[in-house]
Chains A and B, each alone.
Chain A
Amino acid sequence: MLKYARGEYVSSRTICETFQTSRTAIWKHVQSLQKQGYSVEAVPSKGYRLLEMDDFVSAYEIKDYIQAKVFGKLIAYRESVDSTNSAARQLADQGEPEGTLVIADEQTHGRGRFQRKWYSPAKSGIWMSLILRPNLSIVEAPRLTVLTAVAVAKTLTKLSNQQAYIKWPNDILFDGKKVCGILTEINVEGNQINYVIVGIGINVNLRQDELPISLQPSVCSLQSFVHQPLKRARVVANILSTLEDLYITCLKSGDFTGVMNYFKIHNVTLGHVVEIQSGSSRLAGIVEDIDDYGALVIRTTDHQIKKIYSGDILSSSVQ
């Protein structure tokens, strides 16, 4: 009720009448909300109001903004979790359906590939994982990486009015700095996909000086590219919406062309000279193309054409 009043005071009498309850009961509830972290202001003779600066990512908050039909239908919110990907895997193993989202204010063991540490302090970003059960062959599964990267890039671009770019394979950048990382984990049964966990980590409001020194040159926060104060719940809902649209469209038609085009057009790796570590191989060359599955097509310094399906770009001729 206070939410819909949008920053205006709501008198206790109105609340009492609406919920058919006593002033004491209302006050108890307000205190409980305040304990949860909501900034409810109580002014005698005026009533209560919810201060608008609050930024929560509970299921309740996100559902306020949700437009997607399936993604986010079930939301598991935790204040703190080891890793949303790990939590989502557990839920998926238990049979939770496609579209289930795990979201946390804080990750104590946030991770990237190979157990690399993903820095996720409390309330500073969006740390979430989505369960997918795609009707795709295992061979096609890596296309979901491209699809997710494009969905996030599109959403962040719209929210900030500045084009977000994609660094291969799926880092999302603003001004050459990483604002979002995506880690996808797949579970297979026989030769069928059982589930795919899409983990999305977006740095929303950590300032440069709040980041660990090692990360400062290469990481940025979403808030610094958006003029109004961001509500993470709204960002989450928008991402789920765009992601669901692309997911349904591509899987229904089997046609990923639109997604691949966006991936290639807003790509900071394509067309540049790179040095890349792929597994145990290191190679250098010019990225001439990106294939239909997102693999890099590199012409190496000794004029061979190589397709790279996984790796870390060590350096790039990006300006």
Chain B
Amino acid sequence: MLKVSDIRDFIHLLDESTVHELRIETDEIKLTLKKADGSPVVATGVESANTAMRLTGTTSTQNANMVESVMPTKESKEDDSSTSVIRSPMVGTFYRASSPNSEAFVQVGDRISEHTVVCIIEAMKLMNEIEADVKGEIIEVLTENGHLVEYGQPLFRVKLA
């Protein structure tokens, strides 16, 4: 888990290098650090629904560093190793059922296995029945029926078992 001291280290490293912009993404956090010449350090924290993080950047040189954005990518407090996120393999529209009158493929609480169809992603009348690829239990639906999803967008959170 990325700690505030880690981020301070990154700022320091950035400070001392000629690198202008540094982007770090982990399962929990998306961090962008950008050098802004001249101006003093301003720390900005971005609050998400569940977690808030505030940082103070420091600099010991004439280059000021700014923490541009700190974005937690996890939306719950679950430990990483026991959950998995099913993500969209393409841009398209997300459907929870095979037709408007059908029941959803899966609901929160349902047990799934690798070949369980969890949703349909559709683009250009190409229907992609998304299989879970993991074994466990659906604990959260991360997007809404009929919404546009991007490549890589989280669709379901699964408790692995």
* Chain A positions near chain B (C-beta within 8 angstroms): 113-116, 138-139, 141-146, 169-170, 182-188, 190-191, 196, 278-281, 293-295, 309-311
By beta carbon, the residue of chain A nearest B151 is A139
Contact assessment for A113 and B146 in the assembled complex, using a CB-CB cutoff below 8 Å? no
Instruction: Output the least CB separation between B89 and chain A (Å).
Output: 5
Q: List 8 A-B contacts (CB under 8 A).
A: A113-B122, A114-B95, A114-B98, A182-B125, A196-B126, A295-B123, A309-B148, A310-B123
* B128 contacts the other chain (CB 8 A): yes
Chain B residues with CB under 8 A of A139: 89-91, 151
Contact assessment for B91 and A145 in the assembled complex, using a CB-CB cutoff below 8 Å? no
Q: Contacts A139-B90, A187-B129, A309-B91 given: A279-B148 contact, CB under 8 Å? A: yes
Chain B residues with CB under 8 A of A169: 124-125
Indicate which residue in B98, B126, B146, B147 contacts A142 across the interface (CB closer than 8 Å): B126
Q: How far is the CA of A311 from the CA of B122 in the complex (A)?
A: 9
Chain B residues with CB under 8 A of A184: 124-127
Chain B residues with CB under 8 A of A188: 89, 128, 130-131
Contact assessment for B89 and A144 in the assembled complex, using a CB-CB cutoff below 8 Å? no
- B89, B98, B100 — which one has the most chain A CB atoms within 10 A of its CB? B89
By beta carbon, the residue of chain B nearest A85 is B127
Chain B residues with CB under 8 A of A279: 93-95, 145-148
Chain A residues with CB under 8 A of B122: 113, 309-310
Chain A residues with CB under 8 A of B144: 280
Q: How far is the CA of A281 from the CA of B122 in the complex (A)?
A: 14
Q: How far is the CA of A43 from the CA of B137 in the complex (A)?
A: 72
Q: How far is the CA of A115 from the CA of B97 in the complex (A)?
A: 11
Indicate which residue in A114, A183, A186, A278 contacts B148 across the interface (CB closer than 8 Å): A278
Contact assessment for B99 and A115 in the assembled complex, using a CB-CB cutoff below 8 Å? yes
Main secondary structure of the interface of B (DSSP, over half): loop
Q: How far is the CA of A295 from the CA of B125 in the complex (A)?
A: 11
Q: How far is the CA of A294 from the CA of B124 in the complex (A)?
A: 7
Digitize B90-109: 1 where CB-to-A-CB distance is under 8 Å, 0 elsewhere.
11111100111110000000
Q: How far is the CA of A255 from the CA of B145 in the complex (A)?
A: 34
By beta carbon, the residue of chain B nearest A184 is B126
With contacts A184-B124, A188-B131, A196-B126 known, what are 18 further pairs, Cβ within 8 A?
A: A114-B95, A114-B99, A115-B101, A139-B151, A142-B124, A169-B125, A183-B125, A184-B125, A184-B127, A185-B126, A185-B127, A188-B128, A188-B130, A190-B133, A191-B89, A279-B93, A279-B95, A279-B147
Q: How far is the CA of A309 from the CA of B93 in the complex (A)?
A: 7
- B91, B98, B101 — which one has the most chain A CB atoms within 10 A of its CB? B91
- A138, A182, A310 — which one has the most chain B CB atoms within 10 A of its CB? A310
- B93, B102, B125, B133 — which one has the most chain A CB atoms within 10 A of its CB? B125
Instruction: Output the least CB separation between A304 and chain B (Å).
Output: 14
Q: How far is the CA of A259 from the CA of B89 in the complex (A)?
A: 24
Q: Contacts A279-B146, A279-B147 given: A310-B98 contact, CB under 8 Å? A: no
Q: Contacts A115-B99, A138-B90, A309-B92 given: A170-B147 contact, CB under 8 Å? A: no
Contact assessment for B147 and A280 in the assembled complex, using a CB-CB cutoff below 8 Å? yes
Chain A residues with CB under 8 A of B130: 188
Q: How far is the CA of A60 from the CA of B47 in the complex (A)?
A: 67
Contact assessment for B92 and A310 in the assembled complex, using a CB-CB cutoff below 8 Å? yes
Contact assessment for A115 and B123 in the assembled complex, using a CB-CB cutoff below 8 Å? no
Q: How far is the CA of A277 from the CA of B1 in the complex (A)?
A: 42
Instruction: Output the least CB separation between B72 and chain A (Å).
Output: 26
Instruction: Output the least CB separation between B97 and chain A (Å).
Output: 9
